[in-house]
Structure 1
Amino acid sequence: MEQGTQHRKQKVEKQIRRSRKRSSSSEMYSHAALFKKAEELLAKRIKEGDPLAYFLKGQLYFEEGWYADAFIQFEKIKDTDFQAMYQLGVMHYDGLGTKEDPEKGVEYMEKIINSTSPKARHLKYAAAYNLGRAYFEGYGVKHSAEEAERLWLIAADHGNPKASVKAQSTLGMLYSTTNPKDLKKAFFWHSEACGNGSLESQGVLGVMYLHGQGIHQNTKAALECLKEAAERGNVYAQGHLVEYYYKRKMYATAATSAKRVAENDNVDLLAKITDCLPVYIAKGVAMATFYYARCLQYGLGMQQDQAAAKIYYSRACLLDPDIVSDLELAANHGKI
């Protein structure tokens, strides 16, 4: 009887795999068919003289990852279409579909910012953010933190939700990391960005509330921010929640949460999915991994396993040696 049940189970699993394979093939065919249909429709609109169709065709290729084809399409209309010029600026700067040419990328962004055409108006915030990034990185233009800040302030536009939310969040990061720090400004900009939907800033706000940075300490507000950000995929927030649970001796919760966060092994992929900075994702995973190692080492909230603890300590160090060094120092002084 047991053997027969196992046989039926294997048969069902085989049928499921076949079904999934057919479904996957169907989805691929459907996508390919839709893409071809869209391409044909845009080609027809181009033939009929629709100027917008040229850009849409390039954008179709861009979103498919066909950067070389997108580049060719945008090149045809860059002198009359600011959206195409903007995309070319991004592609030159990042080397998408063409050789990296940050100077050319900067040139296109400057043209958009300095244009008096109403058709360029909706692109100015994004262009200012990108140009600020270029100045901050010193890539394609001489490094200038002051010019980067000026451009990001333009892009952020006093917290305007229609402006660059990325610039608002970036200003929050800037003011919390420069020397000297200006945590009140950092809090202001993270608040603006969070209110406009920034997942990155929501996590940072939670940490600032938790430790009273730039604002009076407010544990309730901190947990609201951290929990919501964590649920939305902010790994930095997840790491700080693990620390919060551990320090309050909620070891079972800390261990369970830490294990889940520590399983994240692709920081770059998470950065693409969440649009959060890789460095802060790495910090979040490193924190969680460190605390998971401590739970394993001392049998806190889980079964003790010192051999596994050593492995997780090593992983944490590889992810962010500085944050692990700080945590070890805190542990040695009895603060953890």
Structure 2
Amino acid sequence: MKLRSERLPLACSTQPAPEAPAENCNHAALFATAEELLVKRMASGDPLARFLRGQLYYEEGLYEEALIQFEKIKDVDFQAMYQLGVMHYDGLGTTEDPERGVEYMKKILYSDSPKARHLKFAAAYNLGRAYYEGCGVKQSTEEAERLWLIAADHGNPKASVKAQSTLGMLYSMSAQKDLKKAFFWHSEACGNGSLESQGALGVMYLYGQGIGQNTKAALECLREAAQRGNIYAQGHLVEYYYNRKFYSTAAAVAKRITDHKDTDALAKITDCLPAYVTKGVAMAAFYLGRCLQLGLGVQQDQAAAEKCYSRACLLDPDVA
């Protein structure tokens, strides 16, 4: 499980670097320019420069260098403390130490300092994930729920929206199942821009889960989420088109989905749970297989159908 890092402005975006010849304007040159600028700002006593330097290294994947910068200011900079919490938890630039990562997040969440205020809700979201997974702390779904509710209401917009979507997922599961609460939180997250929750809302409208069945609203949610890259929504659209005998459309959409090979990369790009991305691809593969097997909307091809069924079963045995 990976904690969420804060993506904060870097030095190169806060103070423009001198213009360079076009041929030198590549990534390495820009990185070197930003690094040089930050070293100068540190030397002049800029209190933000060291954090920004650490953040620059972090964004570049230079975690050991980032760790050094953050460690030097962790007692006076809550942003550095937050990033250290993420790095120790996930083992970035240091030995994985989830207990220490949790300790940093707790310090931020329960600090009385005004300087920690904007990070409290991101810390609460991350702590909720730690409790839910039982990593670094004793597993407790109840504590995870409490922390996500804190993060979902106010504060850091990104953490709040992610917490809202996560609560929607939590209340959709059997142990905490409360579909009305799930619908409420997915609605909140969707209204705040969550692609994941937009797809989930479409499915809930389609099947009348936590809300009265509304096919028109379902299709609006699913189609818009699909256009934005939600693979789970795309998979449900394939199923919808197939069941209503729009075979050509179902097969065409399914083919585009099954062309994707790296579901983990898709999950990262769309900020959606990998399990739901995988489910969407599996659904598409299954219905494409049906179309190919029966010659519905496409030319009949038994060998291609078998490949689709195999992929669907491999990704999600419950789909087939």
Q: Normalization by structure 1: what TM-score?
A: 0.87
Taking the aligned partners of 1:168 and 1:293, their CA distance within structure 2 comes to 36
Structure 1 counterpart of 2:272: 276
Superposed CA deviations along residues 31-87 of structure 1, whole A, max 9, x for unmatched, are: 211111111111001001111001000000111111111111111111110000000
User: Is the partner of 2:213 in helix, strand or coil?
Assistant: coil
Taking the aligned partners of 1:97 and 1:83, their CA distance within structure 2 comes to 17
**Which stretches in structure 1 are left out of the alignment for 5+ residues?**
1-25, 325-336
Question: CA shift at 1:307, angstroms?
Answer: 1.2
Which has a greater percent of helix? Answer: 1
Alignment partner of 1:38 is 2:28: no
Structure 2 counterpart of 1:23: none
Structure 1 counterpart of 2:177: 181
Question: CA shift at 1:159, angstroms?
Answer: 9.9
Alignment partner of 1:226 is 2:231: no
Structure 1 counterpart of 2:64: 68
Alignment partner of 1:263 is 2:241: no
User: Is the partner of 1:41 in helix, strand or coil?
Assistant: helix
User: Is the partner of 2:319 in helix, strand or coil?
Assistant: helix
Where relative contact order (Cα < 8 A, 6+ residues apart) is larger, the structure is 2
Equivalent AA in structure 1 for residue 232 of structure 2: Y
Alignment partner of 1:117 is 2:113: yes
Q: Contact 1:134/1:141 (CA < 8 Å) preserved in 2?
A: yes
Choose which of 61, 77, 83 in structure 2 pairs with 1:81: 77
Choose which of 232, 236, 239 in structure 1 pairs with 2:235: 239
Taking the aligned partners of 1:36 and 1:141, their CA distance within structure 2 comes to 40
Alignment map for 1:1-336 (pairs within 5 Å): 30-157=26-153, 161=157, 164-179=160-175, 181-324=177-320
Kindly tell me: are residues 27 and 101 of structure 1, through their superposed partners in 2, closer, same or farther at Cα, counting changes over 3 Å? Answer: farther
Superposed CA deviations along residues 87-120 of structure 1, whole A, max 9, x for unmatched, are: 0101111111111100000000000001000000
Runs of 4+ in 1 over 3 A off after TM superposition: 26-29, 158-163
Equivalent AA in structure 2 for residue 122 of structure 1: H
Equivalent AA in structure 2 for residue 318 of structure 1: L
Kindly tell me: are residues 27 and 196 of structure 1, through their superposed partners in 2, closer, same or farther at Cα, counting changes over 3 Å? Answer: farther
User: Is the partner of 2:245 in helix, strand or coil?
Assistant: coil
Q: Contact 1:208/1:215 (CA < 8 Å) preserved in 2?
A: yes
Question: CA shift at 1:323, angstroms?
Answer: 2.5
Taking the aligned partners of 1:103 and 1:67, their CA distance within structure 2 comes to 19
Kindly tell me: are residues 262 and 159 of structure 1, through their superposed partners in 2, closer, same or farther at Cα, counting changes over 3 Å? Answer: farther
Kindly tell me: are residues 180 and 44 of structure 1, through their superposed partners in 2, closer, same or farther at Cα, counting changes over 3 Å? Answer: closer
Equivalent AA in structure 2 for residue 271 of structure 1: A
User: Is the partner of 1:164 in helix, strand or coil?
Assistant: helix
Which structure is larger by alpha-carbon Rg, 1 or 2?
1
User: Is the partner of 1:321 in helix, strand or coil?
Assistant: coil
Superposed CA deviations along residues 119-140 of structure 1, whole A, max 9, x for unmatched, are: 0000001000000000000000
Taking the aligned partners of 1:266 and 1:47, their CA distance within structure 2 comes to 45
Taking the aligned partners of 1:110 and 1:310, their CA distance within structure 2 comes to 51
Kindly tell me: are residues 223 and 107 of structure 1, through their superposed partners in 2, closer, same or farther at Cα, counting changes over 3 Å? Answer: same
Equivalent AA in structure 1 for residue 280 of structure 2: G
Structure 2 counterpart of 1:330: none
User: Is the partner of 1:256 in helix, strand or coil?
Assistant: helix
Task: Identify the range of structure 1 (175-184 vs 138-147) with the bigger mean alpha-carbon deviation.
Answer: 175-184
Q: Normalization by structure 2: what TM-score?
A: 0.91
Superposed CA deviations along residues 251-302 of structure 1, whole A, max 9, x for unmatched, are: 0000000111111110111111011000000000000000000000000000
Q: Contact 1:159/1:168 (CA < 8 Å) preserved in 2?
A: no
**Which stretches in structure 2 are left out of the alignment for 5+ residues?**
1-21
Q: Contact 2:121/2:155 (CA < 8 Å) preserved in 1?
A: no
Equivalent AA in structure 1 for residue 56 of structure 2: L
Paired positions, count: 299
Taking the aligned partners of 1:112 and 1:123, their CA distance within structure 2 comes to 7
